[in-house]
Amino acid sequence: MIRALIVEDEPMAQAQLARLIKTHFPDIEVVAMTDSVRSTVEFLTADPPINVIFMDVELSDGECFEIFRQVPVHSQVIMTTAYDSYAVKAFEAGSIDYLLKPISEEALKRAVSRVRARTEVLDVGKLLAAVGRPRRKYRERATVHVGDQIIPVRVADIAFFYSEDKSNFLVMSTGERYLVDVTLDTLESELDPEQFFRISRGCIVARQAVRRVSRHFSGRLRLETSPASPGDLTVSRARVDDFLKWLE
């Protein structure tokens, strides 16, 4: 008996696939069905004897490729997806098959037949190299307060953020200063680290704003920016090396 796992976050699609397998492949037993990256990782971490996994690409909490990054997968895999580009990448990685939704009886039979005939194991390294790691999405907008108005601005147009008298501000590349209601700690975690660097506890600066760097006392660095800052912008001594690497 072939033991199968279905990874699918749509209940109707999950039920349909299970029904197709039961109807046309009496020697395949669906032993479990999961609907997310997290639940699948938890299931596979227990190392159950699974021969084949029918795995949807787009799950409720992310792409299925994250499963392979978190837990060893030794089973044969058949991807199920509505997006041909992802499927082709997975297929071309080798030792893996795919089905495009909606799944037909004929397509399922072909995929299962190929899996039965395959002797090589899944090459997780090639698979992950083919699909790559999804680029994280960083904050693209911020909201500023002008009187009783809240106005959205583009992060790409911001020169730096800084704290002053227990308030947080941003300065636009055109020089306007605005009050913001988000902390620098939160901003640091949400901004693209390739474009923004936290030079001290009180300031995050954009790469585009840095015009000149000079040595300062006690091993720190002083920045000249455009637009000019309302006060000195200095890189704390503990962050000098990382800042210089980032600037390069």
d(CA 10, CA 153): 37
Nearest to 239 by CA among 204, 179, 210, 198: 198
Give the pLDDT confidence of 198-218 residue by residue, as tens digits: 999 999 999 999 999 998 877
pLDDT band with cut points at 50, 70 and 90 for residue 85: low
pLDDT band with cut points at 50, 70 and 90 for residue 93: low
C-alpha distances (whole Å) from 17 to each of 26, 172, 173, 186, 204 are 14, 53, 54, 43, 50
The DSSP line for 43-88 is HHHT----SEEEEESEETTEETHHHHHHS---SEEEEEES-HHHHH
The stretches of 118-180 forming alpha helices (DSSP H) are 124-131
CATH numbers and ranges of domains, the chain? 2-131 (3.40.50.2300), 141-247 (2.40.50.1020)
Mean pLDDT, the chain, integer: 88
d(CA 211, CA 207): 9
Tell me the pTM.
0.55
Non-local CB neighbours of 52 within 8 Å, separated by 6+ positions: 2, 3, 4, 5, 28, 75, 76, 77, 78, 112, 115
| Both structure tokens of 129 | 């190299």
pLDDT band with cut points at 50, 70 and 90 for residue 196: very high
Highest-confidence segment of 53-62, 124-133, 140-149, 163-172? 163-172
Rg of the chain over CA atoms, in angstroms?
26
d(CA 33, CA 174): 54
Give the pLDDT confidence of 102-115 residue by residue, as tens digits: 899 999 999 999 88
pLDDT band with cut points at 50, 70 and 90 for residue 15: very high
| Both structure tokens of 91 | 């297929």
pLDDT band with cut points at 50, 70 and 90 for residue 6: very high
| Range name among 9-18, 33-42, 131-140, 181-190 with the lowest pLDDT average | 131-140
The 3-state DSSP class for residue 40 equals helix
User: Is residue 225 within 8 Å of residue 233, measured between CB atoms?
Assistant: yes
